[in-house]
């Protein structure tokens, strides 16, 4: 590995002296992710839950026994039968949320049933999120009334003051993080490596500058190690930018829920750091080998795309499993072991032996790929083919 440090230094200087690369790969990804995910969270809350305001309702023949309950939920406007059509138009034009029509004598008919079941009509506009939310609230209110008329027992009655959801902040946060973070972190790591590795190797081949590097006194192994180490550092920084953006936008994505990473210990973060570093080295080595085989950056990007699809597919497996595998053997599978190790840390199911095996396996695979990359650098057929 003679002379690896000058290659390492050259790659870092090439990156950090280029302001456009710094802005494009370090600053913009995290900023854009934060803005996009924040707006997505706000938009989804508006789509699902509507605006945070009191829903409006036109009500016809509202029984006085229900007036208090309806007024507690809705901004009620009582109208007569002659205003029914205009009320429907108001709902259709989103001027009010719902129009509720009670049949005449509704209360006496339900208190003294004669066989005919009275029908309450609720007109709403499904194309308007506020109207749909108001409709659901009205149905829930009337369902509660119907249940109370023949109530024989309660299930988790809020009036009892009991707390029936036994999950705590740690459980909820770990569930969210263990589902999302493995996928997001692997994608960020891969896209960070993909943004710099093909340009560093296939780009230099395409421009003809790689031939100059190979005739220097630096050994082929030194070139391979220097490039992989430098590209790994840059990839970590690129992934870190995206990771910070997603962490800052996560509370808005979760609807304003109190989601905090403070539940994890220093040991958890050290374990996560080791997993990320070993994973970055492996991914950079994989993309470097592919880029060395390609003749141009465009061709290298095309070759790398299937590998990215594999990474995405492996990353989503944690969404369909209950915690990380307890057996040590899955941690020998490249890339899959990184996904499951990150999942284990975030879900508090990590086993030290499994994490160690996964990190060592990644380093061994990286060493093998460095050896392969060195052999490719020695092959004139591969490095100078047109």
| 77-127 tens-digit pLDDT | 999 888 999 999 999 988 999 999 998 888 888 777 766 778 889 999 987
Sequence-distant (6+) residues with CB within 8 A of 380 are none
**pLDDT of res. 360:** 96
Task: Identify the helix (H) or strand (E) that includes residue 127.
Answer: none
- What is the residue range of 89's domain? 56-153
What pLDDT sits at residue 361?
96
User: Is residue 133 in some structural domain?
Assistant: yes
Cβ contacts of 105-113, under 8 Å, gap ≥ 24 = 106/61, 106/63, 107/63, 107/65, 107/66, 110/149
Does 362 reside within a domain?
A: yes
Specify whether 10 is located in the same domain as 85.
no
Q: Higher confidence at residue 90 or residue 247?
A: 90
Domain co-membership, 245 together with 274: yes
CA distances from 26 to 18, 31, 180, 190 (A): 12, 9, 22, 14
> pTM to 2 decimals?
0.66
> What pLDDT score was predicted for residue 260?
64
Domain count, the chain: 2
Q: Looking at the structure, do residues 27 and 71 belong to the same domain, yes or no?
A: no
- Residue pair 165/134 in contact (Cβ under 8 Å)? The answer is no
Check whether residue 124 and residue 223 sit in a common domain.
no
Give Cα separations from 305 to 111, 179, 311, 352 (angstroms): 68, 24, 10, 33
């Amino acid at each position: 590995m003679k002379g690896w440090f000058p290659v390492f230094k050259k790659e870092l200087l090439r990156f950090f002296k280029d302001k456009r690369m710094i802005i494009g790969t370090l600053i913009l990804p995290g900023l854009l992710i934060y803005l996009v995910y924040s707006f997505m969270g706000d938009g989804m809350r508006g789509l699902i839950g509507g605006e945070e305001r009191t829903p409006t309702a036109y009500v016809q023949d509202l029984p006085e026994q229900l007036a208090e309950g309806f007024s507690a939920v809705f901004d009620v406007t009582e109208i007569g039968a002659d205003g029914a059509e205009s009320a429907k138009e108001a709902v259709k034009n989103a001027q009010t949320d719902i129009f509720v029509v009670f049949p005449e004598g509704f209360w006496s008919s339900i208190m003294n049933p004669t066989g005919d079941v009275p029908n309450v009509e609720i007109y709403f506009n499904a194309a308007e999120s506020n109207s749909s939310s108001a409709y659901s609230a009205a149905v829930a209110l009337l369902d509660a009334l119907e249940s109370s008329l023949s109530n024989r027992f309660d299930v988790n009655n809020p009036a009892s003051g009991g707390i029936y959801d036994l999950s705590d902040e740690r459980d909820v946060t770990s569930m969210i993080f263990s589902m999302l973070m493995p996928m997001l972190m692997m994608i960020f790591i891969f896209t960070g490596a993909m943004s710099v590795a093909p340009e560093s190797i296939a780009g230099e081949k395409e421009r003809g500058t790689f031939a100059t590097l190979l005739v220097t006194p630096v050994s082929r192994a030194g070139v391979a190690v220097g490039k992989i180490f430098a590209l790994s550092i840059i990839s970590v920084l690129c992934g870190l930018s995206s990771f910070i953006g997603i962490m800052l936008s996560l509370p808005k994505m979760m609807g304003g829920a109190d989601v905090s990473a403070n539940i994890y210990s220093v040991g958890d973060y050290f374990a996560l750091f080791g997993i990320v570093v070993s994973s970055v080295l492996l991914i950079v080595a994989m993309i470097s080998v592919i880029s060395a085989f390609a003749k141009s950056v465009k061709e290298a990007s095309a070759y790398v795309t299937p590998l990215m699809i594999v990474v995405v597919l492996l990353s989503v497996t944690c969404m369909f499993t209950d915690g990380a595998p307890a057996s040590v053997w899955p941690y020998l599978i490249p890339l899959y072991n990184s996904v499951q190790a990150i999942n284990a840390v975030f879900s508090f199911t990590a086993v030290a032996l499994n994490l160690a095996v996964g990190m060592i396996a990644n380093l061994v695979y990286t060493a093998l790929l460095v050896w392969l990359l060195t052999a490719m650098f020695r092959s004139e057929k591969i490095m100078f083919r047109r």
